[in-house]
Amino acid sequence: MLDRPYVLLSCGMSIDGYVDSPTDERLLLSNDADFDRVDEVRAGCDAILVGATTVRVDNPRLLIRDENRRRARLARGLPPDPMKVTVTNGCDLDAEARFFTLGDADKLVYCATPALPGAEERIGKVATVIDGGDPLDLRRVVGDLSARGVGRLMVEGGGTIHTGFLTAGLADELQLVVAPFFVGDSRAPRFVGDGSFPWGPDRRADLTEVRQIGDVVLLRYALSERYRD
């Protein structure tokens, strides 16, 4: 059996399943109370993983916002922020992105084997570049993260990454927030793409929690026997 971290997928989407707008304008899918909840979840994780497209398009910080949570991590002998992780086929990444420049936590980039030389040259000074296989293999990624001491991994997208973890059966939990509006434009990115998922009409995912948070709703699903309430 693969030795891997506990994997928690986190995503916000519209009622019709979109995670962003079809334009360059970022779509706000959550509210302040839910942002704080996500911050709390992040603080309980050893690493946060996003895809390279998310790094390029959203330019996320991936840092713990609340100072009390940062201090609590330090008191437990942990760095104030979780490790940052991304995966990429071509390593079209900017070394000046906030993923790399903000925070003192380790930054890991799992890169498809053919792109390794260019990746080392482009971002080798700001991150640890690791061979992710050819083609890039998420099972290899999570196995390596486990070997590096990551016990709890939070995956924050985007859609290709969520699809990959779900179809590979590598997710233990899904935290899905639904915003109270429709996007209504098929050009916009969706929560997941096409794929063969372990959960279907004959095998329903286990819904463990429904929580209203202001004007959004959190749905929590147990996706494996490793689920922790």
Q: How sure is the predictor about 24, in pLDDT bands with cuts at 50, 70 and 90?
A: confident
pLDDT of 1 above 70: no
Q: How sure is the predictor about 228, in pLDDT bands with cuts at 50, 70 and 90?
A: confident
Looking at residues 199-222, what average pLDDT do you find? 97
Which tens digit of pLDDT belongs to each residue from 174-194?
999 999 999 999 999 999 999
pLDDT of 127 above 90: yes
As a whole number of angstroms, the distance between CA 139 and CA 2 comes to 8
Contact indicator for 203, 158 with CB cutoff of 8 Å = no
Strand partners, 212: 217
pTM for the whole structure: 0.96
- Residue 185's φ and ψ, nearest 5 degrees, are -140, 110
Question: What secondary structure letter does DSSP report for 188?
Answer: S
Residue 229's pLDDT is what? 78
Question: What secondary structure letter does DSSP report for 119?
Answer: H
Alpha-helix residue ranges (DSSP H) falling in 148-189: 159-167
Residue 82's pLDDT is what? 98
| SS3 state of residue 47 | strand
For the chain, percent of residues with pLDDT exceeding 90: 96
Looking at residues 129-134, what average pLDDT do you find? 98
Give the E-state strand segments of the chain in sequence order: 6-13, 47-51, 83-88, 107-111, 128-131, 152-155, 173-178, 206-213, 216-222
